[in-house]
Chain A
Amino acid sequence: MSEQQHIVSSYDTDLETIQAMIMKMGGLTEAAILQAANSLETRDEELAEKVRKNDAAIDELEEQINEECARVLALRQPIARDLRTVLTVMKISANLERVGDYAKNLAKRTSVLVQMPPIDGSSGAIRRMAKTVETMLKDVLDAYIQRDAELAEDVRLRDQEVDQMYNALFREFLTFMMEDPRNITACMHLHFIAKNIERMGDHVTSIAEQVIYLVTGEMPDEGRPKRDRTSIETHGNE
């Protein structure tokens, strides 16, 4: 994965293995996001159940990655780029694990929501939001494997889109709830789902920062534009 190989070839094998594990974990997490959002849109309880079950595999991979990283640190004492590789693998796996948990939570809420009448247009919007995050995740994993800091920076900036989608949904659900209090239960679940997807975006952003650190050796500046304004504005009183 890097242009020059180590003289001790088994060292390369060790580093390639932990990176292969991260890619596998990333693939499982992407699938979980899409399937969870699809299960909500198509009101597919079986698919939701599948997403919930599959999360165990993501969790198990995280544990394996941690063990393997500890082993590489203890046995190889990596430095410079190799050290950053191991450090970022550990952080990225923690981020992916959280994203997997949010997908699982989305699937759980789907199982509740299918028991209630649907809220017009909401599940399509949530699917689009999930798709945006999934594409960001796919791109950031590509950026990781290609050591592409520019692509990672691009992903980092795209998180605004997710924030804006969340803002829009926040207002929409508020309106639905004010219109008819019988919508409150469903809208609360949908709102938590939207919030969780917004959080997934933050974790993907954090992975993008790890990629930038891996390539450049420095963490990017904090100057990232944020568009989630729901915590500082009062929407209900307009």
Chain B
Amino acid sequence: MNDMRILERKVAANDIKISASNTQVYYGDNHAIKDVSIEIEDKTVTAFIGPSGCGKSTFLRCLNRMNDTIDICRVEGDILLDGEDIYDKRVDPVQLRAKVGMVFQKPNPFPKSIYDNIAYGPRIHGLANSKADLDVIVEKSLRRGAIWDEVKDRLHAPGTGLSGGQQQRLCIARAVATEPEVLLMDEPCSALDPIATAQVEELIDELRVSYSVVIVTHSMQQAARVSQKTAFFHLGNLVEYGDTGQIFTNPKDPRTESYITGRIG
């Protein structure tokens, strides 16, 4: 008997993209991430959930060294991208962030044209040899951001003139323009209405074909809808990490169950 169950949701044995082991993060004396070890798969959407202050954003920001910008922040442990330590002294954080792109909670387009928002990254990383090359990258990225049809006739209008949902998709298009391998998203939909949210979620599902996507979300429902893997953080600990279907139907840890059923915050 063939099992007709939704293959889409089945997690194939994907390669490990990011491997973190015994990660500790301190903000001054505050021990924010406590001994977190996790393996994030390639071509998979991984959701980080947990109550406010549980460390999910802090941990996400470790994955492309965004925490370097905070003076009192100290990161210990090994975080490997394709087996290479991203905190190695020889790694250039700017190059790292081209490989590990990020989309933030509030859409933050540059105060430039739609075209230049996308072209900026490829230009500074030397990904385009000519104007024609750049045009191709801009169109491709805007298509991947599922916003091409809406902006193709006004590429030179300011990016800040778009609606919130469009701005966020512009930012996603900007993030994919440098051909990253990993896309980190920190609450990418919390400033969007339900339709724009659904559009971004559909986009995330499409991006999964090429990238490893890690999304931090306050909405458990969103984690359930978009991800194949879910990690639950609580008080700086990684409590449970598993297939999304399992986490939301039969979590193993009582704390996970309490959180997703709305019994603890």
**Chain A CB within 10 Å, residue with most, of B195, B198, B221, B225:** B225
Task: Kindly state whether residue A146 has any CB partner on chain B within 8 Å.
Answer: no
* Closest beta carbon of chain A to B88's beta carbon, Å: 38
Q: SS class of chain A's interface: helix, strand, loop or mixed?
A: helix
Alpha-carbon gap, A40 to B18, bound state (A):
63
Is A10 a contact partner of B249 (Cβ separation < 8 A)?
no
Return the CB mask of A99-115 against B: 1 if under 8 Å, else 0.
00000000000000000
Is B198 a contact partner of A68 (Cβ separation < 8 A)?
no
Q: Give the segment of A71-79, A186-194, A208-216 that binds chain B.
A: A71-79
Task: Kindly state whether residue B124 has any CB partner on chain A within 8 Å.
Answer: no
Q: Nearest B residue to A18 by beta-carbon distance?
A: B6
Task: Kindly state whether residue A2 has any CB partner on chain B within 8 Å.
Answer: no
Given A7-B198, A8-B198, A75-B245, are A13 and B5 neighbors across the interface (CB < 8 Å)? no
Task: Kindly state whether residue B248 has any CB partner on chain A within 8 Å.
Answer: yes
Is B6 a contact partner of A70 (Cβ separation < 8 A)?
no
Is A7 a contact partner of B195 (Cβ separation < 8 A)?
yes
Is B6 a contact partner of A71 (Cβ separation < 8 A)?
yes
* Closest beta carbon of chain A to B209's beta carbon, Å: 12
Is A61 a contact partner of B1 (Cβ separation < 8 A)?
yes
Task: Kindly state whether residue B85 has any CB partner on chain A within 8 Å.
Answer: no
| Chain B positions within 8 Å of A14 at CB level | 6, 8-9
Is B205 a contact partner of A9 (Cβ separation < 8 A)?
yes
Is A71 a contact partner of B1 (Cβ separation < 8 A)?
no
Given A75-B225, A77-B221, are A68 and B249 neighbors across the interface (CB < 8 Å)? no
| Chain A positions within 8 Å of B221 at CB level | 77
Alpha-carbon gap, A14 to B244, bound state (A):
15
Q: Nearest B residue to A76 by beta-carbon distance?
A: B225
Is B6 a contact partner of A13 (Cβ separation < 8 A)?
yes
Task: Kindly state whether residue A182 has any CB partner on chain B within 8 Å.
Answer: no
* Closest beta carbon of chain B to A111's beta carbon, Å: 24
**Chain A CB within 10 Å, residue with most, of B5, B8, B248:** B5
Return the CB mask of A50-90 against B: 1 if under 8 Å, else 0.
00000001001100100110110011110000000000000
Neighbour of B225 across the interface among A8, A13, A60, A64, CB < 8 A: A8
Q: Nearest A residue to B205 by beta-carbon distance?
A: A10
Given A20-B4, A61-B1, A71-B6, are A7 and B199 neighbors across the interface (CB < 8 Å)? yes
| Chain B positions within 8 Å of A94 at CB level | none
Neighbour of B201 across the interface among A8, A61, A68, CB < 8 A: A8
| Chain B positions within 8 Å of A20 at CB level | 4
A residues with a Cβ closer than 8 A to B are 6-11, 13-14, 17, 20-21, 24, 57, 60-61, 64, 67-68, 70-71, 74-77
Question: Can you show 18 pairs from A to B with CB atoms below 8 A apart?
Answer: A6-B198, A7-B199, A8-B202, A14-B8, A17-B5, A20-B4, A61-B1, A61-B4, A64-B4, A68-B6, A71-B248, A71-B249, A74-B224, A74-B245, A75-B244, A76-B224, A76-B225, A77-B221
B residues with a Cβ closer than 8 A to A are 1, 3-6, 8-9, 195, 198-199, 201-202, 205, 221, 224-225, 244-245, 248-249
Taking A7-B199, A8-B205, A71-B6 as known contacts, 17 extra A-B pairs with beta carbons closer than 8 A to each other, sorted by chain A number, are A6-B198, A8-B201, A8-B225, A10-B205, A14-B9, A20-B4, A21-B4, A61-B1, A61-B4, A64-B3, A67-B5, A68-B6, A71-B9, A71-B245, A71-B249, A74-B245, A74-B248
4 nearest A-B residue pairs (beta carbon): A7-B198, A75-B224, A74-B248, A8-B202
